[in-house]
Amino acid sequence: MSTDEPSDNDRIKRRIERREFIKKAGAGTLLVALGGGIYRLAGDDLTRKAQGQTRDDGRKRLPPGQKVLESLRPMGGEPGNPKMKDFRLKVHGEVAKPFTLNFDELLAMKQVEQEADVHCVTGWSMLGGLWRGVRVKTLAEQAGLKKDAHFVIFESAHGYTANVSLKEALKPNVMVVHRLNGKPFKRQHGAPVRALVPDRYFWKSSKWLTGIRFVKRDKPGYWETRGYHNIADPWKEQRYG
């Protein structure tokens, strides 16, 4: 984690945000202060609406214990290099043809845009984001996935990893993404590239992605070895192991 002191501009920005928070709170706007930042809740009515909606698989759109935020909340971590020119993604492990992509090569692959909701273990959800990138399944096919592969490890800056089953990783909504709602990610959200695993708690969607490793045996990642649930299904509230 960075221990850098905030700049004068950051301090001014935070003061302005807090003044706006007080004004809007007085006017009845629903906001929440989280981790030193101010985040606008989409409103109890939209949370209730989402709870009443059903996904194609029969589950409620909003998992239990979640509230809707209008935008992603920064969730910390030691940032990786955000420069596109320095980006490299290594696809390796139980594959016949391992390879490494730079950012331009990633963009040259078949791009997919899809809407997906994401759900953080801390209790917030962001609904209907439009994500753009490449399906993990496409990368697996190019690498020549071996029959021995049963799990996927998302590798990120500074040794961070997150694990999912191969079945989960090959779903059409699991992607390597570089844009959200038409805009590149900010560094705090994983720029230039992150994983997207929308049917698992958001820590599985590794930021500052550097590699995708296909493995025979499961290998719990950073948070999984620190007490968080290995599978992390939000609809089962699998928050802790």
- pLDDT tens digits for range 184-195: 999 999 999 999
Say what the pLDDT of residue 43 is: 58
Report the pLDDT value the prediction gives residue 20, as an integer from 0 to 100.
46
Q: Does residue 217 surpass a pLDDT of 50? A: yes
The CATH superfamily holding the domain 84-236 is Oxidoreductase, molybdopterin-binding domain (3.90.420.10)
pLDDT on residue 19? 44
Return d(Cα 179, Cα 16) in angstroms, integer.
Answer: 28
Residue 241 pLDDT class (50, 70, 90 cuts): confident
- Residue spans of the domains in the chain: they are 8-63, 84-236
pLDDT for 9 equals 56
**Per-residue pLDDT, 7:** 53
The three-state secondary structure class of 229 is: coil
* Average pLDDT over every residue of 102-113: 98
- Going by C-alpha positions, the residue among 209, 161, 202, 213 that lies closest to residue 185 is 209
State mean pLDDT over 174-200. Answer: 98
Check whether 233 has a pLDDT greater than 60: yes
Number of helical (H) and strand (E) elements in the chain, helices listed first: 5, 13
- DSSP letter (8 states) at residue 39: E
pLDDT at 39 over 60: no
Largest CA distance in the chain: 61
Lowest-pLDDT choice from 42-51, 170-179, 220-229: 42-51
Confidence of residue 29 (pLDDT cuts 50, 70, 90): very low
Q: What's this model's pTM, rounded to 2 decimal places?
A: 0.82
Q: Is the pLDDT of residue 26 over 60?
A: no
56-92, pLDDT tens digit by residue?
Answer: 999 999 999 999 998 999 899 999 999 999 999 999 9
